[in-house]
Amino acid sequence: MSMDLDAPVPFAAQEQINATILCCNCGAPIDGTTSAGALCQDCVRTTVDISEGIQREAGLHTCKDCERWLLPPTSWVSAALESKELLALCLRKLRGLSKVRIIDASFIWTEPHSKRIKVKITIQQEAFQGSSTIIQQGFVVEYVVSSLQCPDCQKSFTPNTWRAAVQVRQKVPHKRTFLYLEQLILRHRAHQDTVNIKEAKDGIDFYYSQRSHAEKMVEFLSSVAPVKVKKASELISMDIHTSTKSYKFTYSVELIPICKDDLVALPIKLARSIGNISPLALCHRVGTAVNLLDPNTLQTAEVPTGTYWRSPFRNLADVTQLVEFIVMDIEPVGRSNGRFHLAEATVARASDLGSNDQTYFTRTHLGGVLHVGDSVMGYHLTGTNFNDSNFEAIEASSQYGSTIPDVILVKKHYTRKKNKTRNWRVKRMALEHEEEALHSAAAENRKQEQERERLEADFEMFLRDVEEDQELRGTIELYKARKAREQNAGGMEMDEDSDDDGVPKINMDELLDDFDELNMNDE
């Protein structure tokens, strides 16, 4: 009798080949080809510990002053108790956790004063290498919280509280530019990384704990205003063993001394290079460049930042030198340029009415808003002496000397009721004032009173510019006043004062409701 060794084995015979063994722990029969270390699945779950090698205790460091947590090696992060950020920090602290799969992690409540944080972690892993048995286990890790002062708080107890400073300066007799710049900073949240903001003479100082934050502020200022930047550094300390040095960086940002509504006298060569505009012009807007307007022809020109600093010039007069005039007669010419309309006007000084009949003839760009009897603010050039070489060159020029007008009108003047409350307001930054040593308390009180009155006048002038210039208020954020919010919420209409007819007003649709911003004071 012979057998064919190459013949296929029946399926029933294959099942008999699989070996059955007994569990070495409990004696239960198991499949020997798939068993994990000769243990049944129940014994594997009870005897194999997949969390072996993972810490059960760890430490956390927190700063009591700023309530931040240490993220090794040198980072400090803000995280509230039982938050996702703190949970992620706790999981990073455990060694061996990267070798297993995390299924769940949650905090276990502990006493707030116990300086202990407990986290329950659930993990999964194969019982043995190459085994198909998956084990899921949960365990508790206890963290001991220790106090450690962060480097930033350490600096607060030393004179070196900041690492970089941005000094913004503009040498003009008013604060209108800084009030507008403040609103731009608030709108774009460019001040959120500052350590301190201090008001100084002719400007504002911004202090930062990192150099990169100061450079970011410098870039923002360069993108919204024509500036010139200078950088300086000061050595604070040096380690002679490692050659490690610590510096303080100061960025000096100088704004051009030209503001909106200023009268300027350009160098004749510069005026010809930017479109042959009249050298005697008005500044009608300051953005990333200086925008000029010739009120006699409505011609406009733009002086870029680089061009200005190569050929700098100062203003002949600013808004503090404006004189009130009364329009006696006005006739449109028919020429216009955007919102400017050319007209010929006869005006008289408001202070001369009733004393003499002196009138002045001029051409103005305000033909679209002025009517007979209106008040208008302008510069009175007749009999005025300007100590400016550019203006003297214009007077001596045969081309421009005979075209200097007696009066240059700037903007319409609106009569407002005193102490009139507005239905809107703007937010202000919290500034620290620079202290100066004065000889007596009386002199200090007198100077503080004068400074307060000047700041109030500048702020009122800025608010009027916002009301009158729609293009200006489109770049800043305006908020509803408390009275306007209450009336709007109750469905009441705003009461309009008949004495302020004709005064520009801001619609409620242009105002915002959010008042919960941090580090801001409402005005």
The per-residue pLDDT for range 81-96, each reduced to its tens digit, is: 889 999 999 998 888 8
Closest CA to 308 of 270, 265, 353, 259: 270
pLDDT in tens, 22-69: 777 676 777 666 555 666 766 776 677 777 778 889 999 999 888 899
Q: How many residues does the chain have?
A: 523
Contact (Cβ atoms closer than 8 angstroms) between residue 497 and residue 417 = yes
Dihedral sign from CA coordinates of 394, 397, 399, 403: positive
* Phi and psi, residue 109, nearest 5°: -65, 135
Per-residue pLDDT, 13? 46
Rounded to the nearest 10 degrees, how much is the dihedral formed by the CA atoms of 435, 441, 446, 451? 10
* Phi and psi, residue 272, nearest 5°: -70, -30
Q: Has residue 324 got a pLDDT over 80?
A: yes
| Cα–Cα distance measured from residue 319 to residue 298, given in angstroms and rounded to the nearest whole number | 20
Q: What is the pLDDT confidence band of residue 130, given thresholds at 50, 70 and 90?
A: low
Average pLDDT of the segment spanning 358-371: 92
Q: What is the pLDDT confidence band of residue 273, given thresholds at 50, 70 and 90?
A: very high
- Residue 8 DSSP class: P
Among 237-241, 288-292, 371-375, the range scoring the smallest mean pLDDT is: 237-241
Per-residue pLDDT, 7? 55
* Cα 217 from chain centroid (whole Å): 8
| Cα–Cα distance measured from residue 402 to residue 398, given in angstroms and rounded to the nearest whole number | 7
Please, which residues bridge with residue 124 across strands?
101, 136
Q: Has residue 159 got a pLDDT over 80?
A: no
Crossing angle of helices 176-188 and 441-468, in 10° steps, is 70
Query: Residue written as tokens 């001394």?
Result: 257
Mean pLDDT for the chain overall: 83
Per-residue pLDDT, 347? 94
Per-residue pLDDT, 33? 61
Per-residue pLDDT, 205? 93
pLDDT in tens, 217-266: 999 999 999 999 999 998 888 888 888 888 899 999 999 999 999 999 99
Q: Has residue 523 got a pLDDT over 50?
A: no
Q: What is the pLDDT confidence band of residue 279, given thresholds at 50, 70 and 90?
A: very high
Distances (CA, A) of 427 to 180, 185, 438, 514: 11, 11, 31, 11
Query: Residue written as tokens 């703007």?
Result: 426
Q: Has residue 1 got a pLDDT over 50?
A: no
Q: Greater confidence, 99 or 345?
A: 345
Q: What is the pLDDT confidence band of residue 517, given thresholds at 50, 70 and 90?
A: very low
* Phi and psi, residue 277, nearest 5°: -75, 160
Q: Has residue 161 got a pLDDT over 80?
A: no
Angle at 173 between CA 168 and CA 175, to 5 degrees: 55
Domain edges within the chain: 25-151, 160-237+245-255, 262-412
Q: Greater confidence, 4 or 290?
A: 290
Closest CA to 200 of 433, 485, 471, 507: 433
Per-residue pLDDT, 12? 47
Q: Has residue 4 got a pLDDT over 90?
A: no
- The answer to whether the peptide bond before residue 72 is cis (omega within 30 degrees of 0) is no
pTM value surpassing 0.75 = no
